[in-house]
């Protein structure tokens, strides 16, 4: 992925964080997925007083991509405007595992520090029914 596309992906994640609904945790997160078709799909976390109904930004972005017909993705950027660094939770990691080739996860902290991970680094032994 070239730097222009990476910058666009990060900008989409930052923009999405502005739409987060996080009245309980106060932890706003935005995510953006670059699909194999070249489109970017974004999402934000949405909390609910019934905590089990809360959904993470990563899953909103990935599910939005799926709803639009994008079944394979190239990269996912995650941004939070406050600490700590927004590493994806286990549920999001498992959803990512079923999202196709999943090669790159870009994490952007509140201080604009960027870390990149190959997906297998953050979930080396995901559950896979095809094994």
pTM: predicted TM-score of the whole model, two decimal places: 0.92
Q: How many domains does the chain have?
A: 1
Per the structure, the complete domain to which residue 99 belongs is given by: 3-122
**Is 128 inside a domain boundary?**
no
Among 36, 39, 47, 58, which one carries the catalytic annotation? 58
Domain of 118, CATH number, reads 3.40.140.10
Closest CA to 27 of 128, 110, 114: 110
The question of whether 39 is a catalytic residue gets the answer no
Reported as a single tens digit per residue, the pLDDT across 40-91 is 999 999 999 999 999 999 999 999 999 999 988 899 999 999 999 999 998 9
> Of 6-10, 17-21, 94-98, 113-117, where does mean pLDDT reach its minimum?
94-98
Helix boundaries (H) for 1-131? 3-17, 57-67, 90-97, 119-122
**Is 130 inside a domain boundary?**
no
Quote the pLDDT of residue 121: 86
């Amino acid at each position: 992925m070239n730097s222009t596309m990476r910058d666009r992906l990060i900008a989409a994640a930052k923009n999405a964080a502005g739409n987060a609904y996080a009245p309980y945790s106060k932890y706003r997160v935005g995510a953006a997925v670059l699909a194999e078709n070249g489109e970017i799909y974004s999402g934000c976390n949405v909390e609910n007083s019934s905590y089990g109904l809360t959904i993470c930004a990563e899953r909103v972005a990935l599910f939005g991509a799926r709803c639009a017909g994008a079944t394979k993705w190239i990269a996912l950027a995650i941004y939070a405007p406050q600490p700590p660094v927004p590493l994806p939770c286990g549920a999001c990691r498992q959803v990512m595992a079923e999202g196709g080739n999943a090669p790159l996860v870009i994490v952007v902290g509140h201080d604009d520090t960027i870390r990149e991970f190959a997906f297998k680094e953050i979930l080396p032994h995901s559950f896979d029914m095809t094994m």
